[in-house]
Structure 1
């Protein structure tokens, strides 16, 4: 009886008579790191109201209207990206491909939006440049987020492990913003006289792109052994 109870608590496969897919604690810890990337991308979006007026000559009111309108792109991009993700069927790396492609698009778009195009276009061209860069960032964020949402599902379907993936994801979601806030407060802002100007935002995006890459790569390493075609064939 004691052995059966132990099996029920610690070994769901023995309890249920089902061979569950399992991950090691190390795989789960680094595999859920892409939650940190998602939080960083969310923080990047928050600076859009600052860069519109400063980098593209767009009034604050118009910037707000544009951001509200551009968020409607989410509904379209979410559906398209999800459909593409479902149809992808490489032998290895379905999730990793989407994680890295999404990161690359979002990182390049953020550097473009907050740096490379700033001060070049104003007026109507400024609105167009701002909108295109923002949409590209949103698409990259959606691609990365779609793959990131599948990490926990692909990593393990063991009911004794799934709560741990949720806990680890939550830890990243809470801790990464603290890291980013301290980075801005104690490292970046002092170098720019505590002004949220274009150079400060450009440097912030460089830091954020680097940090998000680290979290994305960690997630790719954590899920590498399970991110194979056979895993997706067993999913409902």
Structure 2
């Protein structure tokens, strides 16, 4: 197991421990942890000792309800020392490592586009990454931002879609079909990659392959909602929930025995 894989496993354990204390967005947090592990260990230019380093790359979690997954990764990296139970369910200003507050879905891509354009205007060699949910792409503001980013040829902007195929109301293709998703991004002028969203090496390689270009890029990461917890995997009823004692024991055992 690589250091990045171990980081992801420990981050999942943190999420599971929190879910035994209160109801959280469990499924969405677990599905994006491998993407986060790849970004923080292989992609983002950052200074571990200075989370606010002025030249750092930026990460916007547009899929705000996955916040506890992000908090768990930041805690494993030593950026966050606060008890996760004390942190809000969506990224908020003032939390170390959080670049932008996100709450209502569909706004993160617009924020990231503005940050990418701002970096260019300021002459900064900075890249901006944004993680969106797939159900979140129902929001029209995403496609307005996609059009804006392509028009301004924001080659320093990369989106990652957490494609777990579920949203709160159910299967994304039954709620409001997204496919052919890759073709839609291409039609808006974006470069597109696809990968297994739980293979950290493949995620890193795919993101590196998208670096070279003068137009925005998107990586569609095919993931499993609730990844790592057997009874939650692919089950939309675990979009949000609290683990009872038996469920907690099963979840911890699954994450421990895969070490």
TM over 0.5: no
| TM-score, normalised with respect to structure 2 | 0.27
Q: Output the TM-score relative to the length of structure 1.
A: 0.29
- Structure in which a larger fraction of residues adopt strand: 2
Larger Rg: 1
Instruction: Give 1 or 2: higher helix fraction.
Output: 1
Instruction: Identify which of structures 1 and 2 has the higher relative contact order when contacts are C-alpha pairs closer than 8 Å and 6+ apart.
Output: 1
